[in-house]
Chains A and B, each alone.
Chain A
Amino acid sequence: MILLISLTIAIIFGAGAFLILQRNLIRIVIGVILISNAANLYIIAAGLSRGEPPIYPLPEGAQVSDPLVQAMVLTAIVISSSIAAILLALVYRLYVSHDTLDLEEISRAERRAAERLDSGESLDDRESSEGRPEREERP
């Protein structure tokens, strides 16, 4: 069982790491989600003890499995799901401003910005200094 769980964690983590190295932004986000879920599984693995479910009233004298890992993983799952939401929002915002989901295109924009930085110009890419006004939210 321990070997099986370790293998599962390794495969999920490996798949996540592979996806993070891809060019497509959505795949990168999925990679991050997979990696954080591999960490969740790893924590669950700390509680792989046999025993009664830890629900009151506890059976007399019986061994109870560890409830703490469940509580931890529940918290970690909530955190990783909200992080997935925030990453997807960031990807959407990148798509709106760059019209692409390709990491290469975005790093090209980053390189152009770095070159402009060296020659002492503004960091802005498409928007010139008096061109498009800053994006303002509606109240």
Chain B
Amino acid sequence: MTLLSLPIGITWVLGTVLAMLDGRRPLVGWLSVAGLGASFVSVIVLSVTVVQNGPLEMVAGGWPEGVGIQLRADVLGVTFALVSSAVIFFALVYEVMGGVRSRTFPAFVLFVNTGLMGIFLTGDIFNFYVFFEISMVAAYVLTGYRERDYQVRAAFIFAIVNLIGSVIFLVAVGGLYHLTGSLDMQIVAERITQAELAPTVSIAAAILVAFGLKLGLFPFHYWLPAVYVGSHASVVAILSGALANIGGYGLLRFGGDILPEVLALGAPVIIILGTASIIYGALQAVSRRSPAEVMAYSAIGQVGYILIALGIGGPIGFAAAVLYAVVNSLNKLLLFLAIGLRGPLVGVAFAIGAFSVAGVPPAPGFLGKLALFRTGLEMESLANSIALVTLIFLGGALSFLYSFQVYQRVYMKPDQTPPAPPMQTDPFSAGGPNKPSPLAVRGMVVVLAALVVAVGVWPEPLLVLSDGAAAVLAGGAGGAP
């Protein structure tokens, strides 16, 4: 049972210790990488255990059942924990290899990891809120990393908008407690069926707004471009690859697991929001010039697919949503790390990420698109099926277009050295804007690209996880895997 507390505990304790040390020293940086690696390994072991033996539960602090706070790991939780931990790990390695420039950076990355693992492995809605705030507060600080003027502005925008989202979520938690008299997710899910519809729907709306803000869905996306364009590459990778998973996981957990009836009721709204996100994100991305901006708008479009799959629901829809969320995290990690770099080999890594976003096999993005097509074909009405398949195809074509516009502008200029992109071109080299990045960092990004392709070529583990996660949701609260 200690296995369940390891992913949360290791980085929490280590983060507290490292906060007092100077994070710019390579030793401290590598220590944090080692701690995060240990945490990642414990998540892998936990995932294997959960997939083989079913959900794990424990009550924190040795309190009797019903009094203490429940930690619970099911396939849905560990899937998101696995991918978020991997994203944070690679982003931290990237930054430590290139040279950390702030005392506190490694410690805050560890705190983000702690908060995320806590969110994915808790069985208590208030505990969810507390871990949510731990990871968000660490993320506010990380957004301002490097402290350029525009980065401090981005941190302020990010903090204010997301704090309002957090407060809305806190109100929803309070409302659920009002209605059910419990904070345990399973008990809330049981009792909420007896509650009146009107308060339940308003709570569900608050939850949708809160997580929509985190994801950067269409009507709540306004903070996203400023933050994703301004922040440092490894920070953006953490924000869009790991932190945005809070939104996807939260909607799946609260919508699919705790409030399934309201989710079925609100499906049209969710599908419309998803469609609007896809179209808006793709059109904006096509019309932008700078790579970081294109990718920021692309992030808005990509979460739309997750939302559509969630809205359709059912085992196939939920599996597609989980799969797409995981694949999207990996794509964003690779792309945002690659566009910060200059030099040979980086273009290859970027192209792989771009292929994945567009959904070209064997990149893992293809799996996500395939799962969505399957979802579309399973729909009852033929007209809806056709509309959805057309939308997915159109979105894919547009994402192919904008990804390769970026590729063309940045990497395919044989007659001249690549132009300086508008962000600080190379975050690591002190030399001119066109000097190549350190070989170690470029090598890491290429290794990462190879891993992403490996996930696409050997997708079985990912499919097992996403089907298991969908079974948890479809089978009611904490169902058998």
Interface residues of A (CB under 8 A from B): 20, 25, 28, 32, 35-36, 38-39, 42-43, 45-46, 68-69, 72, 75-76, 79, 82-83, 86-87, 90-91, 93-94, 97-98, 106, 109-110, 113, 116-118, 120-127, 129, 134-137, 139
Chain A residues lying within 8 Å of B65, measured Cβ to Cβ, are none
Q: In the bound complex, do residue A94 and residue B153 qualify as a contact, i.e. CB atoms below 8 Å apart?
A: yes
Least CB separation from A17: chain B residue: B164
Least CB separation from A47: chain B residue: B177
| Cβ-defined partner of A122 (8 Å) among B102, B141, B163, B420 | B420
Interface residues of B (CB under 8 A from A): 22, 24, 101-103, 126, 129-130, 133, 137, 140-141, 144, 146-150, 152-153, 155-156, 159-160, 163-164, 167, 170-171, 173-174, 177-178, 183, 226, 229-230, 289-290, 293, 419-424, 433
Ordered by A's residue number, 10 sampled pairs between the chains whose C-beta atoms are within 8 Å are A39-B171, A68-B183, A69-B177, A86-B140, A93-B152, A94-B153, A120-B289, A120-B421, A123-B148, A134-B146
Chain B residues lying within 8 Å of A124, measured Cβ to Cβ, are 148-150, 424
CB within 8 Å for A46 and B290 given contacts A86-B137, A87-B159, A120-B419: no
CA–CA, A113 and B153, complex, Å: 11
Q: In the bound complex, do residue B159 and residue A90 qualify as a contact, i.e. CB atoms below 8 Å apart?
A: yes
Q: In the bound complex, do residue B149 and residue A134 qualify as a contact, i.e. CB atoms below 8 Å apart?
A: no
Chain A residues lying within 8 Å of B164, measured Cβ to Cβ, are 20, 32, 35
Other contacts beyond A90-B152, A139-B22: 8, CB < 8 A: A35-B164, A38-B167, A76-B129, A76-B170, A90-B155, A91-B156, A97-B149, A134-B148
Q: In the bound complex, do residue A83 and residue B137 qualify as a contact, i.e. CB atoms below 8 Å apart?
A: yes
| Cβ-defined partner of A43 (8 Å) among B163, B177, B422 | B177
Q: In the bound complex, do residue B147 and residue A134 qualify as a contact, i.e. CB atoms below 8 Å apart?
A: yes
CB within 8 Å for A86 and B171 given contacts A79-B133, A123-B148, A123-B230: no
Q: In the bound complex, do residue A137 and residue B103 qualify as a contact, i.e. CB atoms below 8 Å apart?
A: yes
CB within 8 Å for A120 and B171 given contacts A36-B163, A79-B133, A90-B156: no
Q: In the bound complex, do residue A123 and residue B144 qualify as a contact, i.e. CB atoms below 8 Å apart?
A: no
Least CB separation from B163: chain A residue: A32
Least CB separation from A117: chain B residue: B422
Max chain A Cβ within 10 angstroms of own Cβ: one of B153, B177, B229, B293: B153
Q: In the bound complex, do residue B159 and residue A106 qualify as a contact, i.e. CB atoms below 8 Å apart?
A: no
Chain B residues lying within 8 Å of A87, measured Cβ to Cβ, are 159-160, 163
Whole-angstrom distance between the Cβ of B464 and the nearest chain A Cβ: 37
CA–CA, A32 and B101, complex, Å: 30
CB within 8 Å for A137 and B170 given contacts A87-B159, A110-B226: no
Q: In the bound complex, do residue B149 and residue A98 qualify as a contact, i.e. CB atoms below 8 Å apart?
A: yes
CA–CA, A13 and B76, complex, Å: 35
Q: In the bound complex, do residue B149 and residue A86 qualify as a contact, i.e. CB atoms below 8 Å apart?
A: no
Q: In the bound complex, do residue A118 and residue B289 qualify as a contact, i.e. CB atoms below 8 Å apart?
A: yes
Q: In the bound complex, do residue A86 and residue B159 qualify as a contact, i.e. CB atoms below 8 Å apart?
A: yes
Chain B residues lying within 8 Å of A122, measured Cβ to Cβ, are 420, 422, 424
CA–CA, A97 and B144, complex, Å: 12
CB within 8 Å for A106 and B153 given contacts A69-B177, A79-B133: yes
Max chain B Cβ within 10 angstroms of own Cβ: one of A20, A90, A139: A90
CB within 8 Å for A72 and B422 given contacts A36-B167, A97-B152, A126-B149: no
Whole-angstrom distance between the Cβ of A68 and the nearest chain B Cβ: 7
CB within 8 Å for A136 and B101 given contacts A72-B126, A83-B137: yes
Q: In the bound complex, do residue B149 and residue A127 qualify as a contact, i.e. CB atoms below 8 Å apart?
A: yes
Chain B residues lying within 8 Å of A68, measured Cβ to Cβ, are 177, 183
Whole-angstrom distance between the Cβ of B478 and the nearest chain A Cβ: 22
Chain A residues lying within 8 Å of B423, measured Cβ to Cβ, are 123
CA–CA, A20 and B159, complex, Å: 13
CA–CA, A7 and B103, complex, Å: 46
The 4 closest A-B pairs by CB, nearest first: A43-B174, A39-B170, A46-B178, A117-B422
Chain A residues lying within 8 Å of B147, measured Cβ to Cβ, are 93, 97, 134-135
Q: In the bound complex, do residue A94 and residue B152 qualify as a contact, i.e. CB atoms below 8 Å apart?
A: yes
Least CB separation from B229: chain A residue: A117
CA–CA, A128 and B64, complex, Å: 61
Chain B residues lying within 8 Å of A46, measured Cβ to Cβ, are 174, 177-178
Q: In the bound complex, do residue A43 and residue B170 qualify as a contact, i.e. CB atoms below 8 Å apart?
A: yes
Chain A residues lying within 8 Å of B137, measured Cβ to Cβ, are 82-83, 86
